[in-house]
Every structure is written in C-alpha cells, then in structure tokens.
Amino acid sequence: MPKNIYKKLREQLDQYSTGFPESKSGIEYNILERLYTEEQASMYLDLTLMLEDSKSIAERTGRDPEETEKILNGMFEGGLVFRLKKNEKIRYGAVPFVIGSYEFQLNNMDLELAKMFEQYFSEVMLDNISDNVPPLRTIPVNKSIDVNHQVAPYADAKKIIDSKDVIAVADCICRKQQGLLEKGCGKPLEVCLIFGSHAKYYVDKKMARLIDKEEAKSILDKCEEAGLVNQPASMVNPGGMCNCCGDCCGVLRGLNMQPKPSEMVCNNYLAIIETDECIGCEICVDRCQMNAIYMNDDGQAEIDQDHCIGCGLCVTTCSSDAISMSLKPEYLHKMPPADGRELMEITAKKRGKSLMPLKMLEANQ
C-alpha cells in the first residue's frame, strides 16, 4: 500500500500536461518512491508551475529557508523540478511527468528504472494520449516541401533553429530507455535539441552540451537520413525539438495505438502517392514510422491517410518522385499554442484539470 504522501503526489502530477494516471498494478508508486524522498514529495505539493526563489517558497510554506534551499537543490539534481539561474538569482518550479521529470532522468536512467517506466507506459500512458493534446507536433522534412509552398516559420525546423540564441543537444531519453531494455532501434542517440532556458537547465545538469546553429542543422540532416521524425514541442515557440522513431518514442508509440493519429497531430501536411509513378521499391514502407504505407496487390505503395502524420520521410527517398506532400484542406488546419503555458492550459481544460496546485484549490474551497 503506497504511503499517503505518494498518493497525493500522484494526484498532483496527474493535474499537469499528459497527466500521471493510476494503473491497476500500482507501478507508478514504485516510480515515485524511487525518484522522490518523502521530504521531496511534500515539497513538490507546495510548488507551482510559476518560478520562485527558495526564500519565497520558504516564506509561503512556513519552512526553514536553508532547509528549503537544500531540498530544492536535491530535487534539481534528481530532475524533479525546473531550475532557472539568471543574474545570480535561482528560481524553481514544478514540472509535469511528461514533458518533465521523465525526460530529466537522462543521467539517472538504469535498467531498473527503464523497466518500471516501460511497465507504466505499457499499462497506462501510451494509450492515455487519446485523452490528451500530444506534447509534440510533427514538422515535415524541409526537403519534402515543394519550394512553391509558403511554410510558416513554426513549421520549418531550420527556421526555428535560426530563431534561437542558445541551443544544446542531448541524448534521446526514449532511445536510451529502450536500449537498456535491449529494444533499441539502433538509430542516432544524440539528437534531442533544447533551446533557451531549457538548454541552460540541461547543461547545468550535465545532460547536454551547447552547440551552434550550424551543428544543430547538421543534426537535423543526419536525423532525416536516419529516418527520424522531427517533433518540436507542440507550440509556436518550442523549448525543445525531438527527432523520433516509432520503435522508441513514447508519443509515436502512443499515436500508433490510435485509430486516426492524423487527426491528433498538429501538422497541416500529409503525404500523397501517385500510384502509377511508384516503382515498388518499398523504401517508403521502411521509412514510415507510423506504419501508414503498405504495398497493394499490384506491388505499388499506398498511404493510409488516417495514419499519416505528415513527416515527409517517405518523400525524400522516393527515387521516382511518386510521393509528395500536400496541404490538408483548410478546415483541418491547426495552429499550435503560442507557448508552454498556453499548451498546459489547453491540455488541462481538455482533461478537466486545473494548473493550480491541489493544496491551493482545497484551501480556496
């Protein structure tokens, strides 16, 4: 039976982002007990998504300032809070499970933790995406879009990179976890791009290294060659950009479990095939991370439009130019949220949750 503090912690984590729902087995409590001490769990319940310095948190919660700072630093080291250092001032804030404390376990991931995460994802989290706004959105490969198409800056990976002043690169947490389980795909590992304050956080925790814009673009090219789907955070101004495979990525694995992933992703493009031009090489079938392409009885490729998420990986290696990217009808176009706060608010509303900590909600009732 999990301790009451961990039950409250799970309930609080379930408020944010994609949530942290209960499973039948209770594996989530094993995860929480592995990651948080009881003291840290208690502290998390008093944090908000807004950044505060340790002195303010201590005053607001009636804690000793030195002890508060010590606990928060320990939570930062454990990847359990977000920390921002600016002008000698350090502030802390709560983070969701995804995207948040799961990704922040990059340096702590071992076989035991990988197994626990996999059990939890398989039991609850992967299919849970159907009730959520996916935290990542798909961007078509630059080379897959016709030069005559005007692509919005937020839908162009390299333009996003050009807009960033601070860039870091880290290993993919999903590929690392699956590798420990001997389920890895063998695709490149150091492919996750992080921007701005998020990049500084990763570097401070020694989970990433700073790079320039040219190396970031080179990484994108390498990812396209390897057949990885470009997925920034689902907002106009993302704090990070993943390069994902259908074997390891939690978002793509979850989408693959849905009947119509094309309707869930925030991407206004999809791939179409001129069947008569197809030479039946099957390269596109291997490249597709969503199992959306299959060979028909005539040995030609066809696309299941319900499963196509518009990544463009099939287009760039089609030697007969039989595949191209097409804009969806305008009534299906989606605009991503402006920033992380708006994304969290939209997701909370969809899930019937509040971004206010549960303790504060209870105090106001």
Q: CA-based Rg of the chain, rounded to a whole angstrom? A: 21
181-209 mean pLDDT: 96
What's this model's pTM, rounded to 2 decimal places?
A: 0.94
For residue range 349-363, list pLDDT tens digits in order: 999 999 999 998 888
Pairing of strands 301-303, 293-295: antiparallel
59-84 mean pLDDT: 97
Q: What's residue 12's pLDDT?
A: 98
Predicted confidence (pLDDT) at residue 278 exceeds the cutoff of 80: yes
55-67 mean pLDDT: 97
Predicted confidence (pLDDT) at residue 258 exceeds the cutoff of 70: yes
Distances in Å between the Cα of 125 and the Cα atoms of 17, 94, 130, 131, 240 are 12, 20, 10, 10, 21
Q: What's residue 145's pLDDT?
A: 78
DSSP state of 70: H
Closest CA to 192 of 226, 216, 164: 216
Band the pLDDT of 147: cuts 50, 70, 90: low
Predicted confidence (pLDDT) at residue 131 exceeds the cutoff of 90: no
DSSP 185-227: ----SEEEEEEHHHHHHHHHTTSEEEE-HHHHHHHHHHHHHHT
CA gap 28, 121 in Å, rounded:
10
For residue range 227-241, list pLDDT tens digits in order: 999 999 999 999 999
- Ordered by where they begin, the domains of the chain are 4-108 (1.10.10.10), 126-256 (no CATH), 261-332 (3.30.70.20)
Continuous segment of H or E residues that includes residue 242:
strand 240-244
Q: What's residue 154's pLDDT?
A: 79
Residue type, 239: G
Q: How high does pLDDT run on average in the chain?
A: 94
187-199 mean pLDDT: 97
Q: What's residue 1's pLDDT?
A: 64
Distances in Å between the Cα of 204 and the Cα atoms of 50, 100, 162, 201, 210 are 20, 16, 23, 5, 11
Residue type, 149: H
What percent of the chain has pLDDT above 70? 98
